[in-house]
Amino acid sequence: MFTPEVNADILVRMEESTIAGFAIIIICLLVAMTVHEFMHAYVGYMLGDETARSEGRISLNPLKHIDPLTTILLPAFTWVFLKVLVLAAKPVPFNPRNVRYGEYGAALIALAGPLANLVLAVSASMLLHVVPLDSFGGALLDIFRRLNVALFVFNLIPIPPLDGSRVLYAFAPQPVQDFMEKIEPYGFLIIIALVLLGGLGGIVGNINTSILNILP
């Protein structure tokens, strides 16, 4: 899972200090990231692949899904120098040869993570019907649902190694699959460049807003 940029402006939604707001965003991201990766691993196991299970990835322990470089050093760098948080969890491994339904099984594994974030966003939105938005709990739930919607949308962008690329790959014609395989080694750099240059901000932001507006 790759997270979208998290702008420092979201911190003003918290009534506490900026440090407290920052800490809450980190906690929300860790929860969202952990559930996302857990679902990748669990669905892979349910589809017949033991790889993630053998590596202890069917777990709700955040430490199992943290990569020192992309989950710790990368966000520290982007926050200090760019005032945005950009991070990625440790990818959940799977063996395509062991997964039932071939490319479609791989697509189901990929979809499981973003769909988990959507479920979390819906759950937080429903809780906001009983928790006042202007309370500390309401502000926390609002940030949590916004982050999960952002993760749902961002991870479905069809650029390798984002989850959306595996979904597209399963249904794309051969020329498109060949092109995706060629750019996959550079996908991580392409994504970071697009995020930092703002190339995805407008489109992704509009989709995020549309989804937030229709949440229960």
Domain boundaries, the chain: 6-214
- How confident is the model at residue 196, as a pLDDT? 73
- How confident is the model at residue 10, as a pLDDT? 42
Annotated catalytic residue within 5, 15, 37, 103: 37
Higher pLDDT, 47 or 85: 47
Mean pLDDT along residues 152-158? 93
Mean pLDDT along residues 116-131? 96
180 near 190, Cβ under 8 Å? no
- How confident is the model at residue 70, as a pLDDT? 86
Distance CA 54, CA 203 (A): 39
| Residues in Cβ contact with 134 at an 8 Å cutoff, skipping those fewer than 6 apart | none
Q: Residue 189: how many CB atoms within 10 A of its CB?
A: 9
Q: How confident is the model at residue 101 (pLDDT cuts 50, 70, 90)?
A: very high
Structure tokens at 19: 């440090």
Q: Is 37 a catalytic site residue?
A: yes
Higher pLDDT, 9 or 142: 142
Would the pLDDT of 48 be above 60? yes
* Residue from 155, 141, 135, 132 nearest 204 by CA: 155
Point out which residues pair with 6 in neighbouring strands: 85
Would the pLDDT of 55 be above 80? yes
Q: Look at 12-21, 50-59, 101-110, 186-195 and tell me which has the smallest mean pLDDT.
A: 12-21
Mean pLDDT along residues 30-54? 96
User: Based on C-alpha coordinates, what's the Rg of the chain?
Assistant: 17
Helices (H), the chain: 18-46, 51-54, 74-82, 102-127, 136-155, 163-171, 174-183, 187-197, 201-214
Cis peptide before 132 (omega within 30 of 0): no
Percent of the chain with pLDDT strictly greater than 70: 90
Would the pLDDT of 141 be above 60? yes
Q: Is 48 left (phi over 0), alpha (psi -120 to 50) or beta?
A: left
Would the pLDDT of 11 be above 60? no
